[in-house]
Amino acid sequence: MKVSATTESAASIQADAVVVGCYAEGKLQPAAETIDQTTRGAITRLIEAKEITGKTGEITKLLAPQGVAATQVVVVGLGDCAKLDRRAAFRAAAAPAKSLASKVRAHVAFYLNDNWDNDLVEAAVCGAIAGCQGQDLYRAEKKLSAFEQISWAATDASLLANGQTLGEAVSLTRRLVNEPANMIYPESFADAAAEMAKQTGLEIEIWDERKLKAERCGSLLAVAQGSTRPPRLVILRHHGGKKGDAPLAFVGKGVTFDSGGLSLKPSDSMKTMKCDMAGAGTVVGAMQAIAKLKLPVNVIGLVGLVENMINGDAFKLGDVLSARSGKTIEVLNTDAEGRLVLADVLDVAVEQGAAKIIDLATLTGACLVALGTDTAGLMTNDQAWCDELASAAQLCGEAAWQLPMFPEFSEQIASKVADIKNVGEGRWGGAITAAKFLEEFVQGKPWVHIDIAGPAFLDNPKPWLDAGGTGAFVRTLVEVAKGWRG
């Protein structure tokens, strides 16, 4: 997709569609005023008839408007001008993009920035790219078709490039999550990461099954042993900072399909388990953006890749595993497998010299029960580090909420036959006991766990985004990297 700036007026540009904005209470942006004057007050009349209110994300179309070169004009609501933030800017561009993408369109022009600051413009460009991308990767007739070209009104080319980089990173994550498990499995995911690294200049290291065994990754390997697909661990490195500076580490759970193992999931719960690698997909998307933006920081991205399947070799309830760190784990639920994968990957991150760690995982249904489908759970051993991440998420308009990590929760994962067990006592506090399990493997490094089980995947479409993978928290990770000071 080509994204470029334009100085042509909204009325004269030759395009399939022109997108203009209206704030709350009918306050038009300059481009919308131009269209209104050209069409002899068509937008004003719609405002007076309360067909246009300026409500955030509201879409009104003017088809073949007289005096306008474009085939149609889309007026999108921007909400209260004083409250416009990156979340609103992203959706303000994504909603009309998604609506217009229902048909093949070569060229769409956006006239949304009204003295917006740089961050708003970048968020909006990202939204325009994300909004026109669908989950129907294998449909002969697409429900959504990406535009060939996007024009953006009178904006610095570097802002457009940055917004496009973010949009492409979000789209990469979404595409990885939306791929079915027969297409994306540990080996093919690692291959996709390698291709991305080649294109962006990232350094990459891939551990195959032999290397994982040599590195004593017994916890990760146990999850993988029930599948015919061999596991992988991928390490991506961005050397943007000073040589020798300790890196920031992003760690992602990459269970490319989760049957639950011997603790088998019911069919309805298994249908979307191709998305159980969304943490890994988020890390890969963020690393692509960090490399393309050439951020002056050292960052490593690590993803553990397995399938959790069933055969005669599958790990069992009651098994005791030896993790890479030397800690022993009693398995009491094979569907609590993501934390077993992350246990070894977190240990590798520590050994790689990470100064601080963020892990992302579609880890627990308990987090959905606690926070719903749109909000991620944050759990940490370092409040200042968590506050930094939460601030970045808020700036990007990605919803996250911190859950407590009281010492008492650690008592629930104490085992009678091993150092720890992989589930807590009963149903209560499941998202937190899972995080307390992970905390056992970070060796005191400042660490935040993000449970993205809710926001990583949409069962139903939103007005601004198709169903399927969302790319949630790619932008937040990039924002953290931008502000990273070691």
Question: Is the domain of 131 the same as that of 260?
Answer: no
Claim to verify: residue 147 and residue 175 sit in the same structural domain? no
Q: Which entry of 253, 339, 436, 445 is annotated as an active-site residue?
A: 339
Question: Quick one: which H or E segment has residue 319?
Answer: none
Residue 314 CB contacts under 8 Å (≥ 6 apart), including other chains: 225, 226, 261, 262, 334
CB neighbour class for 190 (10 Å; exposed up to 12, middle 13-18, buried from 19):
buried
pLDDT of 485: 85
The answer to whether residues 288 and 405 belong to one domain is: yes
Same domain membership, residue 242 and residue 139: no
Residue 113 lies in a domain: yes
Catalytic annotation present for 265: yes
287 within some domain:
yes
In this structure, the answer to whether residues 143 and 232 fall within a common structural domain is no
Question: Is 148 a member of any domain?
Answer: yes
Determine the pLDDT at residue 427. 83
Whether 282 and 332 map to the same domain: the answer is yes
pLDDT at 115: 87
**Is 339 found in the same domain as 468?**
yes
**Greatest CA span in the chain, whole angstroms?**
80
Q: Flag whether 274 is in a domain.
A: yes
Residue 12 domain-assigned?
Answer: yes
**Residue 279, domain member (yes or no):** yes
User: 27, 142, 216, 265: which is the annotated catalytic residue?
Assistant: 265
Q: Are 147 and 239 found together in one domain? A: no
Measured distance CA(446)–CA(370) in Å, rounded: 24
Domain encompassing residue 119: 2-153
- Give the residues across from 421 on adjacent strands: 330
The end-to-end CA distance of the chain, in Å, is 35
What's the CATH code of the domain at 107?
3.40.220.10
| Co-location of 8 and 106 in the same domain | yes
CATH code where residue 296 lies: 3.40.630.10
pLDDT of the chain, 486 residues: tens digit per residue: 999 999 999 999 999 999 999 999 899 999 999 999 999 999 999 999 999 999 999 999 999 999 999 999 999 999 999 999 999 999 999 999 999 999 999 999 999 988 899 999 999 999 999 999 999 999 999 999 999 999 999 778 999 999 999 999 999 999 999 999 999 999 999 999 999 999 999 999 999 999 999 999 999 999 999 999 999 999 999 999 999 999 999 999 999 999 999 999 999 999 999 999 999 999 999 999 999 999 999 999 999 999 999 999 999 999 999 999 999 999 999 999 999 999 999 999 999 999 999 999 999 999 999 999 999 999 999 999 999 999 999 999 999 999 999 999 999 999 999 999 999 998 899 999 999 999 999 999 999 999 999 999 999 999 999 999 999 999 999 999 999 987
Residue 436's Cα: distance from chain center in Å?
A: 23
- Residues 216 and 137 placed together within one structural domain of the fold: no
Considering the domain boundaries, does residue 163 fall inside one? no
Are residue 19 and residue 108 in the same domain, yes or no? yes
The domain boundary residue, chosen from 153, 188, 222: 153
DSSP label at residue 26? G
Q: Which one, of 410, 363, 403, lies nearest residue 383 by Cα?
A: 403
86 is catalytic: no
Q: Tell which of 89, 123, 153 closes a domain.
A: 153
| Distance between CA atoms of residues 21 and 114, nearest Å | 9
Q: Three-class SS of residue 207?
A: strand
Q: Are residues 222 and 132 in the same domain?
A: no
Q: How many domains is the chain built from?
A: 2
Give the C-alpha separation, 261 to 53, whole Å.
51
Distance, CA of 228 to CA of 314 (rounded, Å) = 10
| Domain annotation covers residue 278 | yes
Residues 6+ apart with CB under 8 A from 294: 240
Query: What pLDDT score does 55 carry?
Result: 94
